Amino acid sequence: MIKVGDLGTAQGYNAAFRVCSLSKDQRTAEFELFNVSKQQPMQHRMRVPASALSPFSEDARQAGARFVREATKD
């Protein structure tokens, strides 16, 4: 089960999020977009069913591709 402060992903979104809060019954979660590279929240919050969230994981290949994209961005 995902907890407050965890990084996760949500069904239908191709991004990482940080869980900000869970409802008392733990059925709804509020989360914000999170920039994994800069380790910073992006100040955009949303509410979704907690069952739509899953833990964020990034394998070495994905991390390498992200590093190259960021290094060649500008």
Q: Where are the domains of the chain?
A: 7-71
| pLDDT tens for each residue of 17-29 | 888 899 999 899 9
Helix and strand element counts for the chain (H, E): 1, 5
Percent of the chain scoring above 90 in pLDDT: 9
Buried b (16+ CB within 10 A) or exposed e, 6-42: ebbbbeeeeebbbbeebeeeeeebbbebbeeeeeeee
Per-residue tokens: 33: 């977009």
Over range 1-27, report the average pLDDT.
85
Write down the pLDDT at residue 25.
92
Cβ–Cβ < 8 Å for 31, 20: yes
Location of structure tokens 């590279």: 37
pTM of the model: 0.63
| pLDDT tens for each residue of 39-66 | 777 777 888 888 888 887 767 777 677 6
Q: Which residues pair with 10 in a beta bridge?
A: 53
Fold classified for 7-71: SH3 type barrels. (2.30.30)
